[in-house]
Structure 1
């Protein structure tokens, strides 16, 4: 039986708790922690948990029976909390983004390596049947070399979204839509296609004058072989249509799932390649569906890794790689120049201090509410 603690009872915590509830024979939530003790108590009551309530996470870091913590706190706290628990010999599942800087990521990974404990970063969209199938298709090279990738991470958030006390500042949120919304799609993109060699980007705040951070960014990635990728991150897109498109030499696949293949006429114009489309679709259909998806899928992966000593799908190194791409976007947009990957310790966006010195403040944050009556979110 794996003993679990939930740290932070904000909007994302229910996704973790619901995930754990699917595996009641394998775990037990023994503690719930939040500086707002009443909020923590309400969470325990809402889910019918038999868990102790704490206001200071350091109190439960020393619990000898504790095995695993889910860190569901604001981004600027992820690194210190995760490091503390890893050093106390606990496994850690930390929400995205992994940390506020690459330096913090390196410190977290060092703590995991030293302790021998598992550090996993939440990337629940990898644990979707469609994403796993698409990754398998790409790995099999069925569509040929990927020539162009399009990432549309389109979300919409109202003006009041950034009124929450920790949102909308570089200090506490660590960035805007690129870091906190598009992180899902950027993670999928780099998992499926790897990091580009260079990034050229622009950012802007077009509709949220109560936030320092961007609400729209556009980046172009260039690979060593000349192939390209474009990444749009947004919280100003009505309808929130999101897509990942991989244009291969032989065919195109995309999410939501679609396959299109062309062959050339004598004059170079396209002719549908129905045979290849059918072959790709058959391979897609043949691949099995996941038993557990989303947060439940990632929690299943984490529990299995603890029980069987297996490697988690999304470890701290994978989490760092996603953040590295995001920091390259910020650095390029801020310095208004193309940035080479990988970033180094000398890059201004490697450390939290460097980010705070260089990051653009589009507007001043003037409102800070403690919470909203409606705490529901979409993921």
Structure 2
């Protein structure tokens, strides 16, 4: 029986606890910690974890408990320090997105996992969704053809009060705005579905949140060998209509689900009716997808538990988490410096280092309110096709 600890018991911790409770034959949550007094105890009581002990310091929990795995669900600026402490204590780690605000911190986390022969996984729960698994399988077939253009719309909406929470809304504590903390889901999917781009251009702004330093809207163009991908990162979009649209040479597929395939007339214009045979083949491949046993956080937690038991690499490891942070970093560098940024980013690039964003990023506004707690639950949004819950 694997012994689980939870570090940080805010909103997203509930998804982790729920996930572990789906595998009660394999693991048990034995400890929870949170720096806010009584917060961990409240979570313990909420989920009926009667035997779990609570701590205010993660260091005390790591020292007192014989743990196999911890979930780290604290603010982004704390991820690296807590992850490295757990790895050095001989504990495997599942850390929430984003892995860390800087590539320097990501590399330190990866190095610690290697040095102590520990499992390190970074949350990317949308890879564990049936619609995304289906989309990936179709793109890996030859039915769509080489990708020409893709659109990733990370469209969320958050009210002004969202950034009143103490750790949100500053470059130092949150690490960034919607590009890092919301669109990282879609950016990870872009990497998973299309691979790493060669270069990035971007623009950033704060359109609607006067109580936050960070951006609430960015638009980036990812440059591949011959293809382009657009990524819109937002917390200003009413309706939260998220979408992934991929156009290949032979067909377009998208989520929410839609298939279109054009065919050419002799003069190059679209033929009436398109290519129904190709559409039928794509629909058949989609229909043949075998549903995943567990989805979202539950699916990733199941994968991580297996990796811990079998001492193997999880489906989403530290390298995958780093790649997503690298893409976010390139978007920030491009937007702040107003230039095209080539990938990969080298260790001597200023934006590789911890603290560069704090030094160079614009303060669109100054944070005006700072509270420890906000009332209400985390709302997933109005659409069933969202690319995942965020914090």
Identify the residue that residue 288 of structure 1 maps to in structure 2: 290
- Greater Cα shift, 214-223 or 262-271: 262-271
SS of 2:100 mapped into structure 1:
coil
Identify the residue that residue 250 of structure 2 maps to in structure 1: 250
In 2, Cα distance between equivalents of 1:140 and 1:112: 35
In 1, Cα distance between equivalents of 2:140 and 2:63: 43
Q: Quick check: 1:37–1:53 contact (8 Å CA) kept in 2?
A: no
Identify the residue that residue 98 of structure 2 maps to in structure 1: 97
In 2, Cα distance between equivalents of 1:113 and 1:239: 43
In 2, Cα distance between equivalents of 1:64 and 1:33: 12
| Alignment map for 1:143-182 (pairs within 5 Å) | 143-182=144-183
Q: Quick check: 1:72–1:94 contact (8 Å CA) kept in 2?
A: yes
In 2, Cα distance between equivalents of 1:198 and 1:67: 40
Matched, 1:121 2:143: no
SS of 1:245 mapped into structure 2:
strand
In 2, Cα distance between equivalents of 1:67 and 1:133: 33
Identify the residue that residue 279 of structure 2 maps to in structure 1: 277
SS of 1:148 mapped into structure 2:
strand
In 2, Cα distance between equivalents of 1:93 and 1:141: 35
Aligned-pair distance for 1:245?
1.1
Matched, 1:6 2:21: no
Moved over 6 A (4+): none
In 2, Cα distance between equivalents of 1:145 and 1:340: 22
In 2, Cα distance between equivalents of 1:145 and 1:61: 49
Aligned-pair distance for 1:308?
2.3
In 1, Cα distance between equivalents of 2:147 and 2:354: 34
Identify the residue that residue 344 of structure 1 maps to in structure 2: 346
In 2, Cα distance between equivalents of 1:77 and 1:48: 27
Aligned-pair distance for 1:229?
0.8
Identify the residue that residue 193 of structure 2 maps to in structure 1: 192
Q: Deviations over 1:320-340 (max 9, x none)?
A: 001101100000000001111
Q: Deviations over 1:58-82 (max 9, x none)?
A: 0121246210000010000000000
Aligned-pair distance for 1:227?
1.3
Identify the residue that residue 86 of structure 2 maps to in structure 1: 85
Aligned-pair distance for 1:141?
2.9
Q: Quick check: 2:119–2:312 contact (8 Å CA) kept in 1?
A: no
In 2, Cα distance between equivalents of 1:84 and 1:349: 25
Matched, 1:267 2:267: yes
In 1, Cα distance between equivalents of 2:174 and 2:142: 38
- Greater Cα shift, 319-328 or 262-271: 262-271
Matched, 1:133 2:134: yes
The alignment covers a number of residue pairs equal to 378
Q: Quick check: 1:11–1:377 contact (8 Å CA) kept in 2?
A: no
Q: Quick check: 2:119–2:311 contact (8 Å CA) kept in 1?
A: no
Identify the residue that residue 35 of structure 1 maps to in structure 2: 35
Identify the residue that residue 109 of structure 2 maps to in structure 1: 108
SS of 1:262 mapped into structure 2:
coil
In 2, Cα distance between equivalents of 1:365 and 1:53: 32
Cα RMSD (Å) of the superposition? 1.0
Question: How has the CA–CA distance of structure 1 residues 43 and 64 changed in structure 2, closer, same or farther, with 3 Å as cutoff?
Answer: closer
Q: TM-score, normalised by structure 2?
A: 0.95
In 2, Cα distance between equivalents of 1:324 and 1:376: 27
In 1, Cα distance between equivalents of 2:318 and 2:298: 19
Q: Quick check: 1:331–1:348 contact (8 Å CA) kept in 2?
A: no
In 2, Cα distance between equivalents of 1:294 and 1:284: 19
In 2, Cα distance between equivalents of 1:292 and 1:63: 32
Q: Quick check: 2:351–2:357 contact (8 Å CA) kept in 1?
A: yes
Gaps of 5+ in 2: 381-388
SS of 2:352 mapped into structure 1:
coil
Q: TM-score, normalised by structure 1?
A: 0.98
In 1, Cα distance between equivalents of 2:82 and 2:109: 10
